[in-house]
């Protein structure tokens, strides 16, 4: 797709402003360092969803120091959401002001910090917003820039709350970018979590019932839908619905260290990469402690929890044995999460029924909010792929894929409508573009999102520099949308007519 014509303002073109080392690039050079330092501060002080108070405060302080920006702390009735707005109506202009929005995030993960790089997602959104606003002023362009820093993307679908408070109503197009170990425009899976709870008279009975439930779910095969999966998370230690625990303990009473060791050794193979274990006599029996990589719940390899389930399978047939959580035998209530992923919304309820039907004896099974599927916007993905490949940005290896790599609550803003037969994208409530951009010098060595190893790379200079490039490219895209009515019309063509605002 050819890049659109670049409208001239004040003797300069949008292309020149963003690509010239004397103008747009220089603007980034004086804006970026402070934002990089704030992003590093957010990385060094990771906060869980709904608790992002420090990140909220430093964001508000930054925008309050900019007289031309209107900033709203504790936005949309939430303690840690932030809204900011910039408008440039040139003298004598009396038409409709076109608008583009940016979305940022800043929540971290339990036990692993910024292993999804939301400190960089924040940096991209704030940098792009600032650069777009600078361009509007320098080039005398009428336009409005909206910024939404949303909370709790990881577990609580914070964007859904912002949506319910009409926080995305004032723009038809929202841009964001997510750090990853690769450059891609990729869709997102549907996600639903089922929470199963078991209460028993003794700790040993609660552990046995919970493991029997996890074993039943683990053994499910041929789930309905496309690319469907279910991963398990035990509600112990630093558990979260989107992080697999790095350490799992399972105690066995009535057996010996040698038997447990031989059992584990017979199970452990290449499907358990980097999983290790220790076996020793404990206060209540034999304590088996399993260690391994943490990671996203959709990971394909086996980890410590799966190993513990397989050990339970091998040993639970012996009625003389009982199972416990090492150093925690007073707990009489236990549970686990079934993290369900599939490609399309139409299949999620059927999969949830299969999973819940497989769990016997649970005192309760509840669920959280569904993260719908997220679709790649065909027009803007194609445009940004070409823009990023230009000399100004030097990123010629962006690809568009049909494979969903994760799930995102940005889908609650986009709200895509898909043809049930062809799976073609028919319409959206809002246009949302979220490219994945590589932040790793050696992607093979940095792991994947939600793994502890990945957190080490989200605070590197290389990652910050890659975010600066993406922020400039997204600001460039936004200003072109604001200056080219034909491009804006093409970019918003998929928006459903109900509720759309004027371009």
Residue with tokens 């936004």: 478
Tokens of 74: 């504790």
Tokens of 324: 């416990």
Helices and strands per DSSP (H, E), number in the chain: 14, 22
Q: From CA 427, how far away is CA 418, in angstroms rounded?
A: 7
Q: From CA 262, how far away is CA 284, in angstroms rounded?
A: 20
Kindly state the helix (H) or strand (E) to which residue 431 belongs, with its residue range.
strand 431-433
Tens place of pLDDT per residue across the chain (503 aa): 444 333 444 435 676 777 765 456 667 888 999 999 999 999 999 999 999 999 999 999 999 999 899 999 999 999 999 999 999 998 877 878 999 999 999 999 988 899 999 999 999 999 999 999 999 998 889 999 999 999 999 988 999 999 999 999 999 999 999 999 999 999 999 999 999 999 999 999 999 999 999 999 999 999 999 999 999 999 986 677 777 788 999 999 999 999 999 999 999 999 999 999 999 999 999 999 999 887 665 566 899 999 999 999 999 999 999 999 998 899 999 999 999 999 999 999 999 999 999 999 999 999 999 999 999 999 999 999 999 999 889 999 999 999 998 899 999 999 999 999 999 999 999 999 999 999 999 998 998 898 888 999 999 999 999 999 999 999 999 999 999 999 999 999 999 986 555 45
- CB 344 within 8 Å of CB 225: yes
- CB 170 within 8 Å of CB 101: yes
Task: Report residue 300: phi and psi, to 5°.
Answer: -85, -20
Tokens of 8: 């001239």
Q: From CA 343, how far away is CA 405, in angstroms rounded?
A: 10
Q: Which of 393, 375, 471, 451 is nearest to 181 (CA)?
A: 451
* CA dihedral of residues 143, 148, 149, 154 (deg, nearest 10): -130
**Exposed, middle or buried by CB within 10 Å (0-12, 13-18, 19+), for 222?**
exposed
Region 8-188+372-491: CATH code: 3.40.630.10
Beta-carbon count within 10 A of 431 CB: 23
Q: From CA 299, how far away is CA 453, in angstroms rounded?
A: 14
Domain boundaries, the chain: 8-188+372-491, 191-367
């Amino acid at each position: 797709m050819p890049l659109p014509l670049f409208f001239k303002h004040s003797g300069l073109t949008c292309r020149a402003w963003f690509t010239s080392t004397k103008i747009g690039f220089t603007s980034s050079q004086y804006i970026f360092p402070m934002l990089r330092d704030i992003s590093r501060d957010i990385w060094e002080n990771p906060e869980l969803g709904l608790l992002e108070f420090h990140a909220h405060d430093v964001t508000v302080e930054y925008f309050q120091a900019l007289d031309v920006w209107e900033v709203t702390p504790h936005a949309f009735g939430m303690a840690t959401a932030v809204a900011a707005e910039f408008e440039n109506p040139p003298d004598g202009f009396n038409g409709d002001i076109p608008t583009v929005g940016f979305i940022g995030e800043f929540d971290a993960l339990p036990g692993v910090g910024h292993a999804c790089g939301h400190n960089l997602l924040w940096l991209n959104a704030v940098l792009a917003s600032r650069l777009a606003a600078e361009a509007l002023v320098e080039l005398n362009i009428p336009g409005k820039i909206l910024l939404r820093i949303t909370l709790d993307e990881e577990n609580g679908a914070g964007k859904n709350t912002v949506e319910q408070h009409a926080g995305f109503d004032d723009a038809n197009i929202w841009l964001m970018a997510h750090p990853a170990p690769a450059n891609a425009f990729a869709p997102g899976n549907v996600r639903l979590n089922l929470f199963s709870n078991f209460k028993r008279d003794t700790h040993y009975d609660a552990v046995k019932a919970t493991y029997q439930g996890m074993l039943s779910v683990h053994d499910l095969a041929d789930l309905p839908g496309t690319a469907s999966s279910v991963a398990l998370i035990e509600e112990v230690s630093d558990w979260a619905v989107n992080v697999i625990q790095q350490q799992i303990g399972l105690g066995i009473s009535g057996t010996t260290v040698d038997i447990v060791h031989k059992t584990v050794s017979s199970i452990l193979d290449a499907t358990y990469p980097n999983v290790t274990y220790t076996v020793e006599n404990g206060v209540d029996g034999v304590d088996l402690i399993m260690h391994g990589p943490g990671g996203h719940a959709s990971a394909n390899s086996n980890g410590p929890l799966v190993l513990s389930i397989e050990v339970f399978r091998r040993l639970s047939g012996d009625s003389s044995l009982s199972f416990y959580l090492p150093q925690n035998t007073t707990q009489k209530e236990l549970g686990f999460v079934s993290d369900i992923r599939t490609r399309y919304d139409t299949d999620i309820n059927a999969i949830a029924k299969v999973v819940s039907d497989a769990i016997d004896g649970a005192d309760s099974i509840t669920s959280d909010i569904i993260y719908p599927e997220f679709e790649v916007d065909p027009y803007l993905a194609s445009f940004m792929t070409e823009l990023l490949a230009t000399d100004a940005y030097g990123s010629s290896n962006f690809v568009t894929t049909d494979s969903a790599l994760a799930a995102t609550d940005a889908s609650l803003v986009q709200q895509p409508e898909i043809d049930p037969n062809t799976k073609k994208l028919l319409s959206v409530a809002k246009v949302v573009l979220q490219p994945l951009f590589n932040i790793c010098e050696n992607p093979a060595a940095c792991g994947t999102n939600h793994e502890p190893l990945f957190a080490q790379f989200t605070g590197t200079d290389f990652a910050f520099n890659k975010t600066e490039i993406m922020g400039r490219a997204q600001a460039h895209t936004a200003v072109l949308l604001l200056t080219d009515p034909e491009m804006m019309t093409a970019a918003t063509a998929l928006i459903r007519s109900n509720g759309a605002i004027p371009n």
